[in-house]
Amino acid sequence: MDVVKSELTGSHLLDYSFSFLGEIKHSRDTSSGTWMAKTELGWVKQEGIMGKEAKHVVRLGAEDRERLQVLIRKGSASASVLKRAHVLLKADASPQGPGWSDERIAEFAGVGLSTVHRVRQRFVEKGLAAAVPRKNRQYQKLNRKQEARLIVLARGPAPKGHDRWSLRLLADQLVALGVVDAISHESVRKTLKEANITIA
């Protein structure tokens, strides 16, 4: 697995991608958005970003970037929506964006890699509204596998920092784990009610 490290060199902030042996594989000047790949012939300019991220490269326009920044500043949206906004802002490979790796984004936003991949794909294929939905559907019927994951979560201990589960926390956790793309706390409530599970 690659490790990304940032370093301020002069007036330029560089992102370095290391292999597990510690060898520098790629570097990126965050001011210009230029990735350089290390080869036997030396450093070569390489467009876009590396690995799985290259399949769905996010390049935000000024309007979309401003909308996401305002959304985060207000902080009134659900946790899952805010996390998706963070994913897109950090994935932005335009000259104005940081263009982080998926691993780094997942750690920063507190989501799984599968969520980062889906957000990238939805933005590239369907646009901002599909990648960062402002409103969750009022009721989403889970399939058996998804319902089982929810029940296991609800019956288990709450995450660190929480005394107990809440419906919203369960909904956010389902999204963070990549079980669903989006789900409302009302959907969680109805699913648990059908399974005769009560959240105190």
Residue of 12 and 188 predicted with greater confidence = 188
Work out whether the CA dihedral 67, 72, 78, 79 comes out positive or negative.
Answer: positive
Residue of 44 and 63 predicted with greater confidence = 63
Given this model, what pLDDT does residue 41 score?
53
The model's pLDDT over 115-145, given as tens digits with 9 standing for 90+, comes to: 899 999 989 998 988 888 765 444 567 899 9
Residue pair 184/150 in contact by the 8 Å Cβ criterion:
no
CA 186 to chain centre: 23
The model's pLDDT over 64-87, given as tens digits with 9 standing for 90+, comes to: 999 999 989 988 787 888 899 999
Nearest CA-CA partner of 4 in 47, 39, 44, 51: 51
Nearest CA-CA partner of 131 in 191, 60, 26: 60
Cβ neighbors of 109 (< 8 A, separation 6 or more) are 83, 86, 87, 90, 116
Given this model, what pLDDT does residue 151 score?
93
Residue pair 157/173 in contact by the 8 Å Cβ criterion:
no
Residue pair 78/172 in contact by the 8 Å Cβ criterion:
yes
Cα(135)–Cα(141) distance, integer angstroms: 16
DSSP letter, residue 77: S
